Structures are given as C-alpha cells and as structure tokens.
Structure 1
Amino acid sequence: MTTTDLWHHYGRARAEQDHAVPDSFRWAWDQQSGPGPEALGDLTGKTVADLGAGVARHAAHLTVHHTPGRIDAVDSSPAQHDMATALYASLAPRLRLVQADVTTHLRATPGAYDVLYSVFGAVDFTDPRALLPAAADALRPGGRLVFSTLAHYLSGSPAQPDVTAQEVPAKTPDGESATMLRWVLQEQVWTKALDEAGFTDILIEELPAGDGPRSAATLLVSAQRPTT
C-alpha cells in the first residue's frame, strides 16, 4: 500500500515559476529575518543533510554559496523529490537528492554526517522520540543538529507542554481535505527530548514573529553529538 503524498501541492506554483538558486538562507518562519547559514558553522568540506528538504532550495543555496563536501537533501514526498530534481539535479554530485523517509535514512547511515539541519522540515512532522535518536546516531562525534520550528501554532495556540502532536490541515493530490501530524513543542520539551536522545550543548533561541498575515515566532535550536 502506498502512502498518500500530502506534500503534492506544496511549493508547486513557485517551482513552476522560480527556477533560481536562492541567494539567501533564513531560519525564521517569514524567511525574511533572523540568522542565516552561519548558525550551521563552517561547512567547508563537510557532509551535510537537509532533513525534510522539500524542493531543496535551502540545500541548493548552501551548495552554491558555501563549500560543503556534499549535501544530501532528504525528503519522503515523491512530488517534492520530483520538483527538486527538475530544479537542481544539475548541482550533483555536491547536492544529492534523496527520496526516503528521514528517520529510516538516518538509521541506515550511522556516523555519516557532520551537520544535520531542518528548516520547518522533518523535525516538525516526525515524532522526535524516533527522529532525534536516529539523528544523533547519524552524526559523527562532535557533529551538530540545527533546526527551526514553530514556537507556537499558526493559529496562535501555545506549544505543547509534552511530546504531543496535533493534526493540521493538508490536501491529497486530488485536492481533498486531509490532516497530518505536526509537533509544536515548548522549549523545555525540546531540551528534554534532545537530552534523552544523547545530545549536549543544547541552545534554543526564540526569533520574533514578522509582520506578515501568517507570522509566527520561531525556535532556532542547535545541539551537538558528544565528541566521545
């Protein structure tokens, strides 16, 4: 049985019109403010993965404007993978487009990465009790995980006080209404989940909401796999 691709429509209109490699990389929800790729540290020669990369715009930016050894843009959605391939396949081999469940991919690649990151990607839509331990195992000693996630729901409702997901609206490829799970957690919940997964040096910064109609505050989270 195949799983319905609830990401079929996401970003499609932009992908049809905008084929450029983005000239900027931002962590905030509005994609206009806050820190940029410097939060990832020096990527020169590093092996990196974008978790829930979508059409791989952030990964393409890092590939072109920084000097990683390789970036794996991992996404489970066939539609997102196809759009990413149409847009950025020419950036191979430094950009590798991987269609796979993120947790499964990480479990299959122990110690493969120096840096993992997610921009409102797989970390938001995967149970952290499964994803975070897999991420820790996939990092080399001293490797870093950096991700941005919502500080509260887009409706304005507060983040969850424990590791609980909420159903959010989605659409099937046929345009029918559906739901998917999204984890929007309080800072201390992320800290505890990362600690239990084996991460250290956990830092969380709240980035303020922008001025747009669907603005939201962002949590920018970084953590390290211990060196020993």
Structure 2
Amino acid sequence: MTVAEDLWYHYGRRRAVTDRAVPEAFRWTWSQRGGPGAEVLGDLEGRRVGDLGAGAGRDAAYLASRYPVARVDAVDGSAAQHAMAGDLYGDLAPRLRLVHADAVAHLHGSVGEYDVLYSVFGAVDFTDPYELLPAACAALKPGGRLVFATLAHYLGGAPARDEVGPAHVSARRPDGEAATMARWVLREEVWAELLGEAGLTGVGCEVLPGSGEGVRDADTLLVTGFRGE
C-alpha cells in the first residue's frame, strides 16, 4: 500500500502525541467503558497471539506487557499505523512483534501458527469475511480461538445487514481529501454462519451494550469461534 492510498494515515495521530502509555485495561466495547477484558481470549500463558488490524498496537502492547504470552503479533496493513506502533511500543520487542502486512496475506503465510487471533474493530470489520475468516481458521492451531469485536449496528442506530456485503464509510486520504472505505456491519446470525462456513466451531455471539451517550454510541457484538481439534 502506498502512502497516498493509506486511508488510516490520520487515525489516532493526535492521541499518540499525548498518550504514549500502555493502556491500563483491555476493552472490547465501542465506548471503551465496561464489559469483559482480556479474559475472553482464554489462557494466554506461552501462547502465540495475533492482533488483526492492530492500528497503533495499544491492545497488543497491553497483552505483551501484562500477560506471559510467547509473543503477540500486531498486524496492520497501514504504513502510518505500523510506524506509529513502532514509535509507541517498539521497546516491547521481542514479546511484541509489529508486522506491516495485509491481514489476509499474513494469515496465509502463517498456517497453523496461532493459538489466539483477535480483532477489536480492526481487520474483521474492514476485510471481506469470505477472504479473512477462512484464512484466520487456517492460521489457528487445532483448538485455537478467534475473537472479534464489531459493531452490532451502524453508528446512528441503523440495523446491521442481514446479508453479506459492506457499507461505504467516510475516510480521509493523507492530504485530507475525503474518501470512503468498505466496512462490514452484519447481524450476529450472519457472522455465525460465516464462521461456520470458514471452518470454525463453537461459535458464540454476545451483544455488549453501549454507554448510552452521544449520537455515535453503539452496541458491540463480541464473537468467538474455535478451530476444531
């Protein structure tokens, strides 16, 4: 991806100037308030973990610094986000490995390597699920776990789609010019079917309510699936 195509160039840049610390908690919810934490990922001792669409790497940094993982790979296709993560948390290597790569391509090159994969409004939201979910299943070890947080409905309250297809949401190019990107906001039944088709079992979906504050508040859909033994 070239810099001109990097629609994540501006994301989190202002925050990175003043907030450089490892987060104090792992949050799945859109509001970043309440809800479950990293325990949803299961026992992480000695585990190989992958964050798909890691952005500035804050969640991955939390796991790498607070849990006895073997390694956390923070995977992101944005050159700007990858550079930001390196500036913020590069000192956590080698327990934290920052990977500049498209999530699907990375997973195709990592067959059977991960104990846990997760996405917090990350690559699962912005990648065709027919491509990403089978690749994620293949990249998990037998018994491995995929967990992701996604929007339970569109920002503003419109219901999630009952068929597989993206909406086009606003974004900005590095020069500030307006652009759009694809985002998948699907009903929980649709996600469950997609995970099953990808080879994942034991699928569970839970709606985590929003904070109730602001017009852009949203409920979170937390989805879990496992690769068969």
What TM-score, normalized by structure 1, do the two folds share? 0.98
Counterpart CA distance in 2 for 1:193 and 1:172 is 31
Corresponding residue of 1:40: 41
- 1:147 aligns with 148
Give the whole-Å Cα distance in 1 for the aligned partners of 2:172 and 2:111. Answer: 34
Q: Deviations over 1:132-168 (max 9, x none)?
A: 0000000000000000000001021110111110000
Q: How does 1:12-161 map to 2 (within 5 A)?
A: 12-161=13-162
Which deviates more, 171-180 or 209-218?
A: 209-218
Counterpart amino acid of 2:138? D
Q: What is the alpha-carbon distance in structure 1 between the residues aligned to residue 66 and residue 33 of structure 2?
A: 18
Structure 1 CA distance for aligned equivalents of residues 22 and 152 of structure 2: 28
One-letter code of the match for 2:108? Answer: R
Q: Deviations over 1:153-202 (max 9, x none)?
A: 10211101111100000000000000000000001100100000000000
Aligned to 2:221: 219
Equivalent residues, number:
227
Work out the CA distance in 2 between the residues paired with 1:69 and 1:172. Answer: 36
Name the SS for the 1:21 alignment partner: coil
Q: Secondary structure at the match of 1:196?
A: helix
Instruction: Name the CA distance, whole Å, in 2 between partners of 1:27 and 1:212.
Output: 17
How many percent of aligned residue pairs carry the same amino acid? Answer: 60
* Match runs of 1:139-218 below 5 Å: 139-213=140-214, 214-218=216-220
SS at match of 1:24: coil
Q: Deviation of residue 209 (structure 1)?
A: 1.2
| Counterpart secondary structure, 1:169 | strand
Equivalent-residue separation in structure 1 for 2:21 and 2:166 (angstroms): 34
Query: Where do 4+ consecutive residues of structure 1 move more than 4 Å?
Result: none
Q: Deviations over 1:64-104 (max 9, x none)?
A: 11111000000000000000000000000000000000000
Aligned AA for 1:156?
Answer: G
For the pair 1:6 / 2:7, whether they are aligned, the reply is: yes
Q: Find the residue that maps to 1:61 and give its secondary structure.
A: helix
For residues 217 and 151 of structure 1, the distance between their equivalents in structure 2, rounded to whole angstroms, comes to 5
Alpha-carbon distance between aligned partners in 1 of 2:178 and 2:158, rounded to the nearest angstrom: 22
When structure 1 is superposed on structure 2, of 211-220 and 81-90 the one drifting more is 211-220
Over the residues paired in the alignment, what is the CA RMSD in angstroms? 0.9
